[in-house]
Structure 1
């Protein structure tokens, strides 16, 4: 729960004019992210310069991460396909998830052993709802696909601890971060509440002091919490925060992707209220998705 020791941090705008930034990753000296609504995957440097790295047919949701050998992965959520970019630039199907669910897939994280976790999917939403209970699917390095968790209350951001032993997932509709133990074969067990939150967690990342940052769309902020829910730092902005990622040369820059939120029905539009912001963080990023230079 909120602590009297909580510290407010200030953010500055790096670049703007985006649609909806999602799935930010620090890779090869820049912040990569998905510009939802445009099909673009872009890279932004610390001066705000933007380069379009790839365009895909999906508009949303789609998310990215990298295999240990450096090849880019893209989960094309509504198509139910996990795509892989080969070294020559060609996009091929890495895994077909269509038989597991007709509902959209959302986020992806690749751990340090090359296990790929994708969430979303699950049962069809109830009438009047946009999302049903989500699942987590594992794709192992040998290509085996299996469901490893279910009944996730709107599955959002995921992160894996640096020892590859714990996966944390944001359950947006349950106002909590949930943890699982990761077995040697990538299976998940010992489901537990990592932190109950006074907010709606979206994208998340981990730092070297064992804390987690989460982005919160309706409360227009990013929050740093310890396991158990103690609030350590808060970064408030003037629009919804969709995701965050630690990066920069020393991993101590918190990058935030934010945009004005006008409801799911208006996510694809000509509005370009998306921004990338940054704030100095008290501890560097660790774990997966990884910011670390030379890892991937």
Structure 2
């Protein structure tokens, strides 16, 4: 792919000294994020002050979302559960997905009816097991768990648009998939929103890496309907139109894993970044950080908060 950007983005460090950060959210005038190796969900003001620990998730937190009544949901990766923070701050199991998924739980997004949608890796990435497609499961308010999408190559960042299009990055599939979300919570009309290359031709992770042309991790959508994706391959944030045309890029100087647009005026991008994806190195160092930059096209209104 070839593109050109005429914008120079100034990158600033908002919160330094973290282990590995993911899943940024702008919620109630604060930036929220998960820090995997301290097992913490944290939040801070727009200027980085008043840094708080919002929840402790011993099996590593990932995606964050909120129920319509304001209660926080956290994807607990290693034990494959979805946790809920109650009004008194206690953490309880919202759904146990361990009997439904084949890899760590990853992302979560909630629709207007309080139904949560959770993605899973599909295979044991940490131990480099043979690659296999992951899935999306819906958790209804009554606790019922239903598989709603399959054959997704490492489903990752998600967003639900105001016209009920569910978008999901496939990090190891060279693509972004789209579904229509029905009133009764089904994901239908699976189609490719953007394609960067073919699906992997091998299930051996080490061999497949050479086939990953774009590795979309987290995503967010802006007011023009364009997606910002964190591309692990180029270590850039890419702004895309439907079909995959790259219309802008941000070079943060570190590997970006996800971003969200928010801030008081809706034009601040918060970026989760680290030197690399080496989790053993990230576990013992504090080189990850939350970065910020300013974008001309602000946050979308009417969308559900993204899962990155």
Is TM (by shorter chain) over 0.5? yes
Aligned pair partner of 2:230 in 208, 212, 215: 215
CA distance, structure 2, for counterparts of residue 177 and residue 141 of structure 1 = 28
SS across alignment from 1:174: coil
1:232 aligns with 2:247: yes
Question: Compared with structure 1, are the counterparts of its residues 107 and 57 closer, same or farther at alpha carbon in structure 2 (3 Å cutoff)?
Answer: same
Q: How far off its partner does 1:98 sit?
A: 1.4
Which residue of the partner structure matches residue 292 of structure 2?
Answer: 278
- Asked if 2 retains the 8 angstrom alpha-carbon contact of 1:2 and 1:229, the reply is no
Aligned residues: 288
Which residue of the partner structure matches residue 215 of structure 2?
Answer: 200
Question: Compared with structure 1, are the counterparts of its residues 232 and 103 closer, same or farther at alpha carbon in structure 2 (3 Å cutoff)?
Answer: same
Query: Could you report, residue by residue, the CA deviation over 1:64-90 in whole angstroms, capped at 9, with x for unpaired residues?
Result: 111011001111121121111110111
Structure 2's unaligned 5+ residue stretches are 197-212
TM-score (norm 1): 0.90
- Asked if 1 retains the 8 angstrom alpha-carbon contact of 2:121 and 2:154, the reply is no
**Whose strand fraction is larger, Structure 1's or Structure 2's?**
1
Which residue of the partner structure matches residue 244 of structure 1?
Answer: 259
CA distance, structure 1, for counterparts of residue 304 and residue 195 of structure 2 = 22
- Asked if 2 retains the 8 angstrom alpha-carbon contact of 1:155 and 1:170, the reply is yes
1:58 aligns with 2:59: yes
Q: How far off its partner does 1:265 sit?
A: 4.6
RMSD of aligned Cα (Å): 2.2
SS across alignment from 2:234: coil
TM-score (norm 2): 0.87
CA distance, structure 1, for counterparts of residue 156 and residue 6 of structure 2 = 25
Which residue of the partner structure matches residue 188 of structure 1?
Answer: 187
